[in-house]
Amino acid sequence: MSTTNAQDAVVIGGGFYGAAIAVYLAKQRGMKQVTLIERESSLLSRASYNNQARVHNGYHYPRSYTTAYRSRINLPKFVLDWPEAVKQDFTKLYAIARRNSKVTANQFERFYREIGAKIELASPALRALFEPRLIEEVFLVEEYAFDSTKLAQWALRELQESAVNVRLQTQAIDICQGADQSLNVILAPHGKEKELINSRYVFNCTYSGLNQFGGDFPGTRTGLKQEITEMALMQMPPALNDLGITVMDGPFFSIMPFPARNLHTVSHVRYTPHMHWTDEPGTNPYQKLDKYPRDTRVDRMIRDIGRYLPSVLDSNYADSLFEVKTILTKNEGDDGRPILFEKHESLPGCYSILGGKIDNIYDVLEKLETENLSRSDDTLSEHAK
Ligand SMILES: Cc1cc2nc3c(=O)[nH]c(=O)nc-3n(C[C@H](O)[C@H](O)[C@H](O)COP(=O)(O)OP(=O)(O)OC[C@H]3O[C@@H](n4cnc5c(N)ncnc54)[C@H](O)[C@@H]3O)c2cc1C
């Protein structure tokens, strides 16, 4: 087995989080030897691509004050940092269902006024799109979409500029204690012999794969729930083409622009999750999805959504995005999306990180900023003194 020595950091997982963290370590923390490991043949091709592309502004979380509030803080930063990836030129509506909703229109409006989010009644023309017997109120809000292909282009550019060594088609399989406070990661590059890479720090940013490591990796303390999800990609009819629509807050649905394909994603709380399980080592979510038959439920989604929003019946199905969605078990009930940030005490230098949603990157970077991370050249400069 070949060995690579003396990395400052190995980041496992080339999604948005792994890429942004690798860039942060190289640029902001001055690490010279950073390697990013990704099992797929391109970066940002898993959950960072297969998602609803919503830059959250809090409206999705009327039952989780912290997540709603943090989203309000993070959205303007995200728009400033990734302007080319953010689509703002569409109208965003949140509608409240009359029956089975966990919030009323009054509660929804009051909550968002209180946290300073823009919210106003939609115009009569926009309200006329909805079936009044089923929809209590329609609000015009401010929420954006992101283009994950633009985020991937940003990642490639920045990683190259920061001299991060990117290894594609390479799976990390074990994380083990090495000599002198270092860690060893065993890699299985596609179609080649295993390799060992030695590093001071390891950042496990593998989202659904967080607990799928052998060696000394202890697993995350936080419980995770895995869900196989389907979002339908649809061509909307002209009446809905410049809109994003979310009906809250119970067994309802969302239609959002998906800039990467110039289509809309359609998700439905009842039909988008196909199956779920409690995360555990040895049940690899990627393999589970590979074996899953992927029979679409688009007909059921559109039939139900058509009751609330009749013009959706004129949309055309293009494709479906299937992905494993990973959430913290503790947030099943309130839909909150805090970050997972764990430092593994039994494996010093090893961190597991899960963002939950794209704009949480700021919460992760804030946490990393408080970590005292040493670099390999720190020891050299200590000796030179
Ligand atoms: C259906 C769905 C809808 C969503 N909607 C939204 C939304 O509208 N807005 C929002 O902000 N967020 C949304 N999210 C959440 C968002 O997608 C995630 O928070 C974000 O993409 C996570 O980024 P990541 O880098 O952690 O994960 P990923 O992009 O999945 O990156 C993890 C990477 O690790 C790689 N990997 C895994 N195991 C290994 C290994 N052992 N070795 C090497 N590589 C490995 C994977 O191939 C993958 O590329 C949604 C998610 C889903 C699934």
Q: Which atom of ligand 1 is nearest to the CA of 213?
A: 41
Give residue 380's pLDDT band: very low, low, confident or very high (50, 70, 90). Answer: very low
CA 359-361-362 angle, 5° bins: 95
Any idea which fold 87-147+223-331 has?
D-Amino Acid Oxidase; Chain A, domain 2 (3.30.9)
Ligand 1 centre from 285 Cα, in Å? 12
Give residue 3's pLDDT band: very low, low, confident or very high (50, 70, 90). Answer: confident
Ligand 1 centre from 18 Cα, in Å? 10
The tokens for 22 are 């690798």
Cα gap 23→163, rounded to integer Å:
9
Q: What is the pLDDT of residue 335?
A: 73
Q: Find out whether 243 and 312 touch, Cβ atoms under 8 Å.
A: no
Output the CATH code of domain 2-46+149-221+338-384.
Answer: 3.50.50.60
Q: What is the pLDDT of residue 376?
A: 66
Ligand 1 centre from 13 Cα, in Å? 9
Residue type, 223: G
The residues facing 204 across adjacent strands are 12, 352
Question: Cβ-count burial of 335 within 10 angstroms (0-12 exposed, 13-18 middle, 19+ buried)?
Answer: middle
Q: What is the pLDDT of residue 66?
A: 87
Least confident of 21-25, 55-59, 223-227: 55-59
Q: Whose CA is nearest to atom 10 of ligand 1?
A: 357
pLDDT tens digits along 180-213: 889 999 999 999 999 999 999 999 999 999 999 9
Least confident of 58-67, 144-153, 165-174, 362-371: 58-67
Every domain of the chain and the residues it spans: 2-46+149-221+338-384, 87-147+223-331
Ligand 1 centre from 358 Cα, in Å? 9
The residues facing 145 across adjacent strands are 54, 87
Q: How confident is the prediction for the chain on average, in pLDDT?
A: 94
Q: Which atom of ligand 1 is nearest to the CA of 172?
A: 42
* Mean pLDDT, rounded, for 349-371: 96
Cα gap 135→202, rounded to integer Å:
49
Ligand 1 centre from 220 Cα, in Å? 17
Q: Which atom of ligand 1 is nearest to the CA of 323?
A: 53
Of these ranges, 63-72, 285-294, 323-332, the one predicted with the greatest mean pLDDT is: 285-294
Among 214, 186, 201, smallest CA distance to 2 is for 186
Is residue 116 scored above 70 in pLDDT?
Answer: yes
**Fold equal for 2-46+149-221+338-384 and 87-147+223-331:** no
Pocket probe for ligand 1: among 56, 320, 358, the residue whose CB has the most ligand atoms within 8 Å is 358
Q: What is the pLDDT of residue 62?
A: 86
Question: For the chain, what percent of residues have pLDDT higher than 90?
Answer: 87
Question: For the chain, what percent of residues have pLDDT higher than 70?
Answer: 97
Cα gap 318→57, rounded to integer Å:
28
pLDDT tens digits along 118-150: 999 999 999 999 999 999 999 999 999 999 999
* Mean pLDDT, rounded, for 295-322: 98
Ligand 1 centre from 15 Cα, in Å? 6
Ligand 1 centre from 377 Cα, in Å? 33
Give residue 378's pLDDT band: very low, low, confident or very high (50, 70, 90). Answer: low
| Residues within 6 Å of ligand 1 by CB | 12-18, 37-40, 44-48, 50-54, 56, 171-172, 205-207, 209, 212, 229, 231, 323, 325, 354-359
Q: What are phi and psi of 89, to 5 degrees?
A: -85, 55
Q: What is the pLDDT of residue 353?
A: 98
